[in-house]
């Protein structure tokens, strides 16, 4: 912690530390002349020396002033501390709690949900009208206060990685092509692959994720690591919201589904358009007494925002001080006690490299490792291996240890020498190869396979079809002309098989004369084929084996 006896920037006295992160620390501080209390965000000196970090920091200063909306956390001052070289900004010190903290206690009443998101979208619409895209919307960056009349007030915070539609070339260079920036669980597919050219539709996606989370008690895309989450965001469909929140109004559910469309043009164009549609949904359904989402099954979340820049509003200690009228922060009606709190961190936001370099977390390993080699971060004791595979939903193992999701073109950095590589699905080895890793060089390894036997289990916690059947989903990439046999062997379980072709057409088989479902076909065109293993009747559960082999 900084010495509280000296003045930061010659004018701010530190009162206490609120929170700290990899990029900086947030303090409660007081201006020495005006005696105004502020949230003082101080960038670490070594981070402040990085050009890209300074530009992002300056954008956090300028964006609220450009937008000029009362629902945006105000910035009062910024400067450079000559004593240690750090950069600081003085911001509005908010009293209340984040939307994240509120959601962890339970779901909001429907009228509260509409009020919160209406205010949020009003602020965001003002930003979009100025050509400013937030790019890091999440519950941690939505702050709830109590107004004088006792109603909920909403403040939008943390504009550190905004894009400005009027930025000059220097400003645009803050984000390099091919770089994904933001928080994986809330990033749109286009932002996850290339953050440079995102527009207001990406913020609409993030609002859709938050609405989904408020209604269902879980995010639409999750996983044990940021990379896995990004893969799901890009390639998977979200679980139907109506099944997770059966009491949610259909008009609201349909709007959330639109916000989570993979194609930006299929979503509401910007926050203003989304706010108008949200109000129409509210008019159709009324405000209601509350929402009763289905409790989310327990799941392990293994990553958190331990190195990211901190937001003063998002890190207020508990208990939170009362507002000007002595009112406590607004509370939500708690849902079922078995409801699991959603994750606290939202994923790693930044990775700091040696020498003060700053690298945004990437969904594509090839881009990450390419940058690392370019900066000289790897020595001749390591080399690169590029994956070639037709297995989409698998996992890579190197010398028996998991290295994350298996995706076509992914590049791994590995120690030199002989390595044994495997592609696994649900623990089953579906392809393997031996490779010699060469220092400072890139080699290709083929982990493709048609012949695969994958054990599975259908039951509670799986996705469901529209008629209530449990279903597991798999994806494979095949070449045109391949002859393929697919079978779901249930060992007494009456199975059902669906195959979705790249053109969207669906083929299905239940083998009316037996219990095991099978399908033989010649691959008509190259692309990704989705196989869905299910049962003949809704509610059936049990183990099975998915068999895929060449004919």
For the annotated catalytic residues, the residue numbers are 136
494 contacts 469 by C-beta, under 8 angstroms? no
Order of strands, sheet of 506-509, starting from the edge strand that comes earlier in the sequence: 463-464, 470-478, 527-535, 495-500, 506-509
Residues 6+ apart with CB under 8 A from 65: 75
Nearest Cα residue to 295 out of 215, 232, 233, 208: 215
34 contacts 9 by C-beta, under 8 angstroms? no
177 contacts 196 by C-beta, under 8 angstroms? yes
Nearest Cα residue to 103 out of 149, 138, 148, 151: 138
Nearest Cα residue to 494 out of 544, 531, 550, 454: 544
Alpha-carbon gap, residue 255 to 208, rounded angstroms: 8
**What does 437-482 look like in DSSP terms, one character per residue?**
E-TT-EEEEE---S-EEEEEEESTTSEE-TTS-EEEEEEEEE-TT-
Q: What is the DSSP letter of 518?
A: E
Alpha-carbon gap, residue 198 to 177, rounded angstroms: 11
Pairing verdict, β 401-406 and 411-415: unpaired
Alpha-carbon gap, residue 99 to 214, rounded angstroms: 9
Q: How far is CA 456 from CA 302, 392, 449, 450, in A?
A: 24, 17, 18, 18
Nearest Cα residue to 94 out of 71, 112, 117, 113: 71
Which secondary structure element, helix H or strand E, spans residue 60, and what is its range?
A: helix 51-67
Which secondary structure element, helix H or strand E, spans residue 14, and what is its range?
A: strand 12-20
Question: 168 in helix, strand or coil?
Answer: coil
Residues 6+ apart with CB under 8 A from 113: 107, 211, 214, 215, 291
Cα-atom radius of gyration of the chain, to the nearest Å? 25
């Amino acid at each position: 912690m900084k010495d509280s006896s000296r003045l930061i920037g010659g004018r701010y006295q530190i009162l206490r530390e609120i929170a700290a992160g990899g990029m900086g620390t947030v303090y409660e501080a007081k201006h020495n002349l005006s005696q105004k209390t502020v949230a003082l965000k101080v960038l670490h000196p070594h981070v402040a020396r990085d050009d890209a970090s300074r530009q992002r920091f300056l954008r956090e200063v300028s964006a609220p002033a450009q937008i000029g909306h009362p629902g945006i956390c105000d910035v009062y001052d910024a400067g450079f501390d000559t004593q240690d070289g750090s950069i600081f900004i003085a911001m509005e010190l908010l009293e209340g709690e984040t939307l994240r903290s509120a959601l962890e206690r339970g779901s909001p009443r429907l009228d509260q949900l509409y009020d919160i998101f209406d205010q949020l979208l009003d602020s965001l619409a003002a930003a979009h009208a100025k050509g400013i895209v937030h790019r890091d919307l999440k519950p941690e960056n939505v702050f709830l206060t109590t107004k004088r009349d006792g109603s909920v007030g909403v403040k939008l915070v943390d504009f550190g990685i905004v894009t400005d539609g009027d930025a000059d070339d220097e400003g645009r260079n803050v984000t390099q092509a091919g770089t994904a920036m933001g928080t994986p669980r809330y990033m749109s597919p286009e932002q996850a692959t290339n953050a440079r050219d995102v527009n207001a539709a990406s913020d609409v996606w993030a609002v859709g994720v938050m609405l989904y989370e408020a209604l269902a008690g879980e995010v639409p895309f999750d996983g044990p690591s940021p990379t896995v989450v990004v893969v799901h965001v890009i390639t998977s469909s979200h679980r139907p919201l109506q099944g997770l929140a059966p009491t949610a109004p259909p008009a609201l559910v349909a709007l959330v589904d639109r916000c989570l469309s993979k194609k930006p043009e299929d979503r509401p164009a910007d926050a203003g358009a989304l706010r108008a549609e949200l109000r129409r949904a509210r008019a159709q359904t009324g405000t209601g007494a509350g929402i009763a989402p289905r409790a989310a099954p327990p799941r392990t979340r293994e990553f958190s925002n331990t190195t990211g820049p901190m937001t003063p509003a998002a890190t207020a200690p508990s208990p939170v001080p009362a507002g000007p009228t002595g009112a406590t922060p607004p509370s939500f009606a708690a849902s079922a006690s078995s409801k699991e709190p959603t994750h606290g961190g939202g994923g790693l936001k930044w990775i700091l490299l040696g020498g003060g370099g700053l690298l945004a977390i990437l969904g594509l390993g090839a881009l990450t490792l390419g940058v690392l080699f370019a900066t000289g971060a790897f020595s001749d004791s390591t080399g690169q291996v590029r994956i070639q595979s037709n297995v989409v939903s698998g996992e890579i193992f190197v010398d028996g240890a998991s290295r994350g999701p298996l995706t076509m073109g992914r590049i791994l950095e590995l120690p030199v020498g002989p390595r044994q590589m495997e592609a696994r699905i649900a623990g089953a080895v579906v392809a393997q190869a031996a490779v010699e890793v060469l220092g400072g060089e890139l080699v290709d390894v083929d982990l493709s396979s048609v012949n695969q036997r994958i054990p599975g289990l259908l039951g509670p916690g799986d996705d469901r079809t529209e008629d209530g059947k449990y279903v597991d989903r798999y994806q494979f990439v095949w070449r045109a002309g391949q002859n393929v046999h697919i079978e779901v062997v249930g060992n007494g379980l009456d199975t059902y098989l669906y195959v979705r072709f790249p053109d969207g057409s669906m083929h299905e088989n239940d083998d009316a004369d037996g219990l095991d479902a099978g399908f033989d076909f010649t691959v008509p065109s190259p692309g990704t084929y989705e196989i869905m293993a299910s049962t003949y009747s809704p509610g059936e559960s049990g183990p099975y084996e998915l068999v895929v082999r060449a004919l």
